[in-house]
């Protein structure tokens, strides 16, 4: 705007220049979908363990240290989970699979949001 004002002043045409201000509404926060296990804190991880697969992993929860977050959980294999927490191989494998499925779902939602944004940006350009 200041460049336009300067040009109009140089051209002695300041009478045509009008400035109007308008309040812009804040963007609505879009639903971002499921949060990736990579970013879970310890409380979210424990909440997920108690509710995932209809509470199948709730018995293991007492053996899981309170400091374990999503990132630490993702670094573990099913065998490590079974060995450290005293869970059966079956429960540990199911927990590992459910965690990987949660990660895959979060990544798929993130990719879809990116595709939607690109599509909307292309529509604006045309």
Give the pLDDT confidence of 83-105 residue by residue, as tens digits: 999 999 999 999 999 999 999 99
**Token couple for 29:** 């926060």
CA 101, chain centre distance (Å): 15
Residues 105-114 have a mean pLDDT of 92
Domain boundaries, the chain: 34-125
- Interior angle at CA 124, CA 7 and CA 36, nearest 5: 120
CA 79, chain centre distance (Å): 28
Q: Please identify which residue in the block is written with the tokens 């990544």.
A: 107
- As a whole number of Å, the CA-based R_g of the chain is 26
CA 50, chain centre distance (Å): 21
**Token couple for 115:** 């595709």
**Token couple for 58:** 């709730």
Residues 67-81 have a mean pLDDT of 95
Predicted local confidence at residue 14, as pLDDT: 60
Predicted local confidence at residue 10, as pLDDT: 76
Predicted local confidence at residue 69, as pLDDT: 95
Lowest pLDDT segment from 29-38, 42-51, 74-83? 29-38
Is the domain 34-125 a CATH 1.10.8.870 member?
A: no
Give the pLDDT confidence of 36-66 residue by residue, as tens digits: 999 999 999 999 999 999 988 988 999 999 9
CA-to-CA separations, 21 to 4, 15, 27, 28, 93, in angstroms, rounded: 16, 18, 18, 21, 60
Higher pLDDT pick, 27 / 2: 2
Q: What is the mean pLDDT of the chain?
A: 86
Residues 108-126 have a mean pLDDT of 82
Question: What letter does residue 34 receive in the DSSP assignment?
Answer: S
- What is the band of 16 on the pLDDT scale with cuts at 50, 70, 90? low
> Which helix (H) or strand (E) is 32 found in, with range?
none
Residues 11-21 have a mean pLDDT of 70
């Amino acid at each position: 705007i200041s460049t336009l004002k300067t040009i109009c002043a140089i051209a002695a045409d300041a009478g045509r220049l009008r400035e109007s201000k308008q309040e812009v509404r804040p963007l609505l926060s879009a639903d971002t979908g499921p949060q990736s296990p990579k970013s879970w804190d310890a409380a979210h991880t424990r909440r997920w363990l108690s509710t995932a697969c209809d509470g199948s992993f709730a018995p293991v929860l007492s053996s899981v240290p309170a400091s374990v977050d999503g990132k630490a959980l993702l670094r573990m294999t099913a065998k490590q989970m079974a060995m450290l927490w005293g869970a059966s191989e079956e429960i540990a494998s199911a927990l590992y699979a459910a965690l990987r499925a949660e990660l895959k779902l979060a990544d798929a939602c993130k990719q879809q949001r990116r595709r939607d944004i690109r599509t909307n940006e292309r529509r604006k350009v045309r």
